[in-house]
Structure 1
Amino acid sequence: MSALRQGDIFAAGAERLQMTDSIELTIQSLQAYGADHPHWGIAWSGGKDSSATLSLIMWLIDTGKIPAPQTLTVFYADTRQELPPLAIAAQQIMDELEERGVRVEVVTAPLDKRFMVYILGRGVPPPNNNTLRWCTRQIKIDPMTAALEQRLRELDGNVLMITGVRQGESAIRDKRIEMSCGKDGAECGQGWYQKVLPEAKGLKGRLATLAPLLHWRVCHVWEWLKHWAPLAEFGDWSTVTIADAYGGDEAEEINARTGCTGCPLASEDKALDTILLNPTWSYLEPMKRIKPLWRELREPRHRLRKAGVERLKDGSIAANPQRMGPILLESRLMALEQLLTIQAEINNAAKRLGRPQVDMINTEEEARIRELIAAETWPDGWNGDEPIATTPLDKVFEDGSVQPLLFLEVPDV
């Protein structure tokens, strides 16, 4: 593409990027940086942007539009919480990758760190958007980092980690070029390239990241997933289900974001609601009961509370005295049984309808949850002797002073 043409793309008021323009800029991005890194990795979540990135790059390699690296590793982040259509599509795409001889690493958190086990087995409350947003790092970022560091140790030479980060057309049209420029001498429009220095010993300077679809418009993502990638000439990828999970032909208008099933951090289950509009997935309706369950487990009647002044190891007073803490053992069992019931209802319907079953809590996870509950396991800093959070207590302030409880309602006898 000529300098004049590239300048036109970024000019204010320029005509909108066409699909071929977006693909061409992606090719330029990969040609600019790919050769400097003998090994490539692709971070893949199963969502729309990373799936478009993965399938497009595979097509570009297969057709010789970009040279293949010495090695290519696809890292699939399996959180065990994905919406069923996305999880099913991911498995189909993994099968297609393996047929092509592509190395796929399924990255999952260690058993005791998985979402369901951490909440129900250890008693950690469901994440929230204020003080306890632990889920993304624990079930996705940390496992992916560990898998990448292990792969780096197995390889000689630099690694280019490719992500599906996408800023969208507005970053180009509004001339916010800094969002799409590299941090290491990249030309405008060549993707977001930056060198990363992993903290792990011996890995410094060996890793860089690139977001080659940074400039793609969302309509191009839908177009690729729904109409281009499934064609034999573009790779025959199982991406239609992904587009359908976001709303199909109406995906751009709905603008649904997908996340974990029954995500405690979202105010509404928009992605699940969108999926349930499709008759083929309507049997997943019992999943609508998951979010209310997480909300209930955060209530005081299901949790412990620190009773008085809490001293730390250095003798100082802990902040946030009388804070609510972990989930009661009996409440964890209640939640486990409810989730297993939801899973059984869905799978019974799936068998009857000939549809895919779900695997929210597998046998290994269930056994571990029950084992941790039976062992009366509590998060660090809690021993289970603390009062239930509904128990009336003297008021303790952050400076350690105490205001005695003046009034206590006495039940009728």
Structure 2
Amino acid sequence: MTSAPAQPTLFEGSKRLVYDDAIELTLQSMQAYGPAHDHWGIAWSGGKDSTATLTLILHLLDTGRLQRPKTLSVFYADTRQELLPLAISAEAIMRQMADRGVNCEVVRAPLDKRFLVYILGRGVPPPNNNTLRWCTRQIKVDPMTQALADRLDELDGSILMITGVRQGESAIRDGRIAMSCGKDGAECGQGWYQEVLPHASGIRGRIATLAPILHWRVCNVWDWLRIYAPMAEYGGWSTTAIADAYGGDEAEEVNARTGCNGCPLASKDKALDAVIASPHWSYLAPLKRLKPIYRELRKPQNRLRKAGVERLKGGGIAANPQRMGPLTFDARLWALAEILSVQAEINTAAATLARPEIDILNAEEEARIRELIASGTWPHGWDGDEPTADTPMDTVYADGSVQPLFL
């Protein structure tokens, strides 16, 4: 009787994975830059690229292919807007890391700067791709930067932040990569290494970033998450749930980028569409109503507008006179009720189907939104007595000249 063939490993000659060159380059990247830093951190969003990076690095450490640093910290960026399958997978992976003794810090924006609290409580319009793309910085970059600064205060020496940035994930991002690929002595094929973290001027000189899967193709990422990472010999990681957020068996073809639930910046909710197309997650379909809510909030009748010439503190004239501004209280309360209705509808179905509930707005966030509205909160530079943006008024130009309204 013959025994079953041994399960192939990453490093066994002809039994190596079909994309072993990609993993070998990742290993070389880590071996080249990792030893220069006593402390490592991994920036993890819960998406496919950062999860592949996280689980692969931990596997390489567990198998001795990488020498362990003095400390290893994982920073999970919880935006409170993640697609439910990704959030569930992240929770499972965090439990697995805890069992392995890996320190994972959940990083969130302060309460008043969380996505929906900022919009509905403070009245800032939903972000857009043109003039007001505030969300990524505020709910992900700034909290992560603060968490890194706090950790550096506890450490001696420098820290290497390992990210899941991958070429091909975004045309805009690829442009930044192309401009930076030779920075700080990084060699082609060894990952995108930089000794300065953008937006972190207070911690410059003590931190470097490395993107060790920069060269991976989406098929490499997907095979790792779907086939290998869940195997016991590669860590037994709970990465299969991520399949639902990327189209399951069609993931390579869909190749959709995930974003927030009903992301205002995306023209189409490809990832959400892929999720609710699965019978397993079809009860999440009411999330499709979020994007229309955000579109409605941006309309003139739901916002204030500066009237007349806007004088700056220094005596000059604002470059964008009569700009549209914050959301009216009525619009905020309407949107709050609509979003809570979406959440209630999903969770009622979840209870019936014995499926996971969703948490768009928790009790603390709802209470804070209502408190900010009740106290008459407006963004800086607005006092609330401005007219609504659909009010007819004289036209003011950037030079201060006025075109009277002719009725």
When normalised by structure 2's length, the TM-score is 0.91
Structure 1 77/181 Cα, relative in aligned 2: closer, same or farther at 3 Å?
same
In the aligned structure 2, how far is the partner of 1:313 from the partner of 1:41?
Answer: 43
Q: 1:297-349 CA deviation, whole Å, 9 max, x = no partner?
A: 00011111111111111111112111111100011001001100100110111
In the aligned structure 2, how far is the partner of 1:123 from the partner of 1:35?
Answer: 47
In the aligned structure 2, how far is the partner of 1:31 from the partner of 1:89?
Answer: 29
Partner of 1:8: none
Say whether the 8 Å CA contact 1:180–1:190 is kept in structure 2: no
Question: 1:360 deviation in Å?
Answer: 0.5
Partner of 1:90: 90
Aligned-partner SS, 1:209: strand
Partner of 2:255: 255
1:238 matched to 2:238? The reply is yes
Say whether the 8 Å CA contact 1:179–1:192 is kept in structure 2: no
Q: 1:37-69 CA deviation, whole Å, 9 max, x = no partner?
A: 110000001111000000001111111111111
Partner of 1:322: 322
1:375 matched to 2:341? The reply is no
Partner of 1:294: 294
Structure 1 359/197 Cα, relative in aligned 2: closer, same or farther at 3 Å?
closer
Partner of 1:345: 345
In the aligned structure 1, how far is the partner of 2:199 from the partner of 2:373?
Answer: 36
Say whether the 8 Å CA contact 2:26–2:190 is kept in structure 1: yes
1:266 matched to 2:266? The reply is yes
Partner of 1:138: 138
Partner of 1:51: 51
Partner of 1:174: none
Aligned-partner SS, 2:321: coil
Q: 1:368-405 CA deviation, whole Å, 9 max, x = no partner?
A: 00000001110111111011111111121222222221
In the aligned structure 1, how far is the partner of 2:216 from the partner of 2:371?
Answer: 48
Say whether the 8 Å CA contact 1:79–1:139 is kept in structure 2: yes
Partner of 1:283: 283
In the aligned structure 1, how far is the partner of 2:236 from the partner of 2:398?
Answer: 61
In the aligned structure 2, how far is the partner of 1:70 from the partner of 1:344?
Answer: 46
In the aligned structure 2, how far is the partner of 1:215 from the partner of 1:201?
Answer: 28
In the aligned structure 1, how far is the partner of 2:95 from the partner of 2:182?
Answer: 34
2:310 maps to amino acid: E
Say whether the 8 Å CA contact 1:167–1:180 is kept in structure 2: no
Question: 1:168 deviation in Å?
Answer: 5.3
In the aligned structure 2, how far is the partner of 1:324 from the partner of 1:201?
Answer: 32
Question: 1:178 deviation in Å?
Answer: 6.5
Question: 1:201 deviation in Å?
Answer: 8.0
Aligned-partner SS, 2:184: coil
Question: 1:79 deviation in Å?
Answer: 0.5
Segments of 5+ residues of structure 1 without an aligned counterpart are 1-16, 172-176, 408-413
In the aligned structure 2, how far is the partner of 1:119 from the partner of 1:213?
Answer: 35
1:306 matched to 2:306? The reply is yes
Partner of 1:398: 398
In the aligned structure 1, how far is the partner of 2:232 from the partner of 2:338?
Answer: 44
Say whether the 8 Å CA contact 2:145–2:199 is kept in structure 1: no
Partner of 1:30: 30
In the aligned structure 1, how far is the partner of 2:45 from the partner of 2:300?
Answer: 35
Aligned-partner SS, 2:331: helix
Question: 1:198 deviation in Å?
Answer: 7.5
Question: 1:200 deviation in Å?
Answer: 6.5
In the aligned structure 2, how far is the partner of 1:393 from the partner of 1:186?
Answer: 57
1:302 maps to amino acid: N
Partner of 1:13: none
In the aligned structure 2, how far is the partner of 1:402 from the partner of 1:198?
Answer: 42
Say whether the 8 Å CA contact 2:218–2:255 is kept in structure 1: no
Say whether the 8 Å CA contact 1:42–1:73 is kept in structure 2: yes
Say whether the 8 Å CA contact 1:181–1:189 is kept in structure 2: no
Which runs of structure 2 are paired with 1:101-180 in the superposition (5 Å)? 101-167=101-167
Q: 1:342-366 CA deviation, whole Å, 9 max, x = no partner?
A: 0011011111111111111011100
Aligned-partner SS, 1:388: coil
In the aligned structure 2, how far is the partner of 1:373 from the partner of 1:83?
Answer: 28
Structure 1 41/264 Cα, relative in aligned 2: closer, same or farther at 3 Å?
same
Q: 1:206-252 CA deviation, whole Å, 9 max, x = no partner?
A: 21111111111110100000000001111010101112310122111
Partner of 2:209: 209
Question: 1:202 deviation in Å?
Answer: 7.4
Partner of 1:355: 355
Structure 1 202/316 Cα, relative in aligned 2: closer, same or farther at 3 Å?
closer
Structure 1 303/180 Cα, relative in aligned 2: closer, same or farther at 3 Å?
closer
Aligned-partner SS, 1:154: coil
Structure 1 232/163 Cα, relative in aligned 2: closer, same or farther at 3 Å?
same
When normalised by structure 1's length, the TM-score is 0.90
Q: 1:242-289 CA deviation, whole Å, 9 max, x = no partner?
A: 123101221110111100111111111111101111101000010000
Say whether the 8 Å CA contact 2:123–2:332 is kept in structure 1: yes
Q: How many residues align?
A: 385
Question: 1:203 deviation in Å?
Answer: 3.9
RMSD (Å), alpha carbons: 1.9
In the aligned structure 2, how far is the partner of 1:316 from the partner of 1:202?
Answer: 32
In the aligned structure 1, how far is the partner of 2:178 from the partner of 2:206?
Answer: 24
Structure 1 203/302 Cα, relative in aligned 2: closer, same or farther at 3 Å?
closer
Partner of 1:3: none
In the aligned structure 2, how far is the partner of 1:333 from the partner of 1:67?
Answer: 54
In the aligned structure 2, how far is the partner of 1:152 from the partner of 1:107?
Answer: 15
